[in-house]
Structure 1
Amino acid sequence: MLPGLAYYIPAIILAFAILAAAVKILREYERGVVFTLGRFTGVKGPGLILLIPFVQQMVRTDLRTRVLDVPTQDVISHDNVSVKVNAVIYFRIVEPDKAIIQVADFMNATSQLAQTTLRSVLGKHELDEMLAERDRLNADIQEILDKHTDAWGIKVANVEIKHIDLDETMIRAIARQAEAERERRAKVINAQGEQQAAAKLLEAADILGQRPEAMQLRYLGTLNFIAGERNSTIVFPFPIEFGDILKASGAKRGD
């Protein structure tokens, strides 16, 4: 009995090996690129996949979003400022057959393309644009990358510039520029305020000059304001009529 069973053991082991090579299980986020005798015959998955052993081979691909950290790049801006920039890219495979057949290593190819694109795009802009318009630069880089990686079956979902590093000399220069800009705005606002105040004072003078009683009321209001303050100032009211008398006497002496 035992010698007969030992005779079938190699056949049983061979059957299990063939079954293991034929049956594949792919997860929901996986796809299998199948080659039959070296030729591409389709994309399968997810779930249970049956292959012909030794005739068909399968390459697994992951469809989940991948994160690619672009190494720090030395960039010279359009206004000849040297900066160090790094970024992060989010992409995923949308056509597994192209990602396997069209490019040998899609991760390395995407990384190299991202580095060159980052230097090329940022080199066309000035430093102020890099610091203030990151969203627009991110969109430009994403559009270029997505256009070039489409032939590889890759979709670039997002690009984010993480850091723009400047040397200390440039940081101090930018700080001085910002301070000068704030001073300029303060002077302009102050001048505009003086202009508006002068216009209002001229308008008020025209209104008060039309009626002498208005000037008298303004004079009494000013005295009331001064008297209300807690100070040691003593105010002696000077009637406005005395001013008219002095003007009249001066005019007579002049005659």
Structure 2
Amino acid sequence: MEIATIVSLAVLVLVIVTIAKTAQIVPQRSAYVVERLGKYTKTLDAGFHLLIPFVDRIAYRHTLKEEAIDVDRQACVTKDNIQVVVNGVIYLQVVDPKAASYGINDYRYAAMQLAQTTLRSVVGKIDLDKTFEERETINIQVVQALDEAARPWGVKVMRYEIADIELPATILDALEKQMRAERERRAVVAQSEGERQAKINVSEGQKQETINLSEAEKQRQINEAEGRARQIELIALATAEGLRQVAEAINTPGGKDAVGLRVAEQYVEEFGKLAKTNNTMILPAELTNIGSAVAAITKTMEQVNRP
């Protein structure tokens, strides 16, 4: 009984092992490399597969997903002989499981080492100031070099990203002083530009004020000149109208006598005013010849009115 039990257990174990080696389930986005008697025979994609027990074996298991691998910190020397410490992340993907299995022993380790050496070479061609500005350029150059080298390995390098760049303490202090000086310079420039603009604004305001005052004075003079011209015009029109009416009055019946009487009255009135304002009494040469003077004035007005 004991021997039969042992044999039964051995057979059961053998069956289980045979089934385990015969049936293989490959997960999604994975690939298994199968060797038959130590020689590559096929690559299993995702799904259920049957193998020949004790003849076929799974030699390599690869994931076809994109992998992110940290690249260790390393010291790099820039073109201007400044040592910086750089670390990054490389993203790669297996595209050919067979080449990834037999093309290189460990493609992950090889990719990290190649990324470090390529990064040192690229950084050595760039000055310190440009290492921060040209991160994208550095990443592209590293990816190009890695992708070309990893093609025989069945690996596609997707991208490389610089995670951090560490500078020596002395360089950091010098950069801090440089940035502080630059900020102070910008502050002084901004202040001087503000003062300059303020002076320009004041001078422009004074200029505009002077222009406005001169324009106002010019307009005032024009208005006064136009007013005086209008005044002279109105006076001339009124005088002409008065003379016309006087001339018409002379031609009416009794107009000459009325004009003579009016002239005589004004003659006497003005002579009386002259006597009041002067201490010396002035008498005309022919006091009795007032009538002849009036007649002369009347005759002159008739000639003016005659067409």
| TM-score, length-scaled by structure 1 | 0.72
Identity rate, percent = 36
User: Aligned AA for 1:84?
Assistant: V
2:162 match: secondary structure: strand
Structure 1 residues 205-224: aligned runs within 5 Å: 205-212=206-213
2:44 match:
44
- Alpha-carbon distance between aligned partners in 2 of 1:21 and 1:68, rounded to the nearest angstrom: 32
For residues 120-142 of structure 1, what are the alpha-carbon distances to aligned partners after superposition, in whole Å with 9 as ceiling and x for unaligned? 12222222222234344333323
1:78 match: secondary structure: coil
1:162 match:
163
2:127 match:
126
* 1:70–1:88 CA contact under 8 A, matched in 2: yes
User: Aligned AA for 1:113?
Assistant: L
Deviation at 1:12, TM superposition (A): 5.3
- Alpha-carbon distance between aligned partners in 1 of 2:198 and 2:10, rounded to the nearest angstrom: 105
For residues 47-95 of structure 1, what are the alpha-carbon distances to aligned partners after superposition, in whole Å with 9 as ceiling and x for unaligned? 2221123332322112233332211111111221111111122222122
1:200 match:
201
Larger relative contact order (C-alpha < 8 A, sep ≥ 6)? 1
- Alpha-carbon distance between aligned partners in 2 of 1:5 and 1:131, rounded to the nearest angstrom: 74
User: Aligned AA for 2:48?
Assistant: L
1:156 match: secondary structure: strand
User: Aligned AA for 1:50?
Assistant: L
2:32 match: secondary structure: strand
User: Aligned AA for 1:189?
Assistant: A
Structure 1 residues 20-169: aligned runs within 5 Å: 20-58=20-58, 59-169=60-170
- Alpha-carbon distance between aligned partners in 2 of 1:74 and 1:57, rounded to the nearest angstrom: 44
User: Aligned AA for 1:62?
Assistant: T
2:187 aligned with 1:183, yes or no? no
2:115 match: secondary structure: helix
Measured on the aligned residues, the alpha-carbon RMSD in Å equals 2.8
1:64 match: secondary structure: coil
- Alpha-carbon distance between aligned partners in 2 of 1:71 and 1:10, rounded to the nearest angstrom: 50
Pair 11,185 (structure 1): closer, same or farther in 2 beyond 3 Å: same
Q: Which has the larger radius of gyration?
A: 2
For residues 197-225 of structure 1, what are the alpha-carbon distances to aligned partners after superposition, in whole Å with 9 as ceiling and x for unaligned? 3333333232222344899xxxxxxxxxx
Deviation at 1:165, TM superposition (A): 1.5
For residues 31-62 of structure 1, what are the alpha-carbon distances to aligned partners after superposition, in whole Å with 9 as ceiling and x for unaligned? 11122344433321212221123332322112
1:218 match:
none
The count of residues paired between Structure 1 and Structure 2 equals 215
Pair 199,16 (structure 1): closer, same or farther in 2 beyond 3 Å: same
Mean Cα deviation higher: 50-59 or 162-171:
50-59
Pair 9,183 (structure 1): closer, same or farther in 2 beyond 3 Å: closer
User: Which consecutive unaligned segments of at least 5 residues does structure 1 have?
Assistant: 216-255
Structure with bigger helix share is: 2
Pair 163,211 (structure 1): closer, same or farther in 2 beyond 3 Å: closer
* 2:119–2:138 CA contact under 8 A, matched in 1: no
Deviation at 1:145, TM superposition (A): 2.0
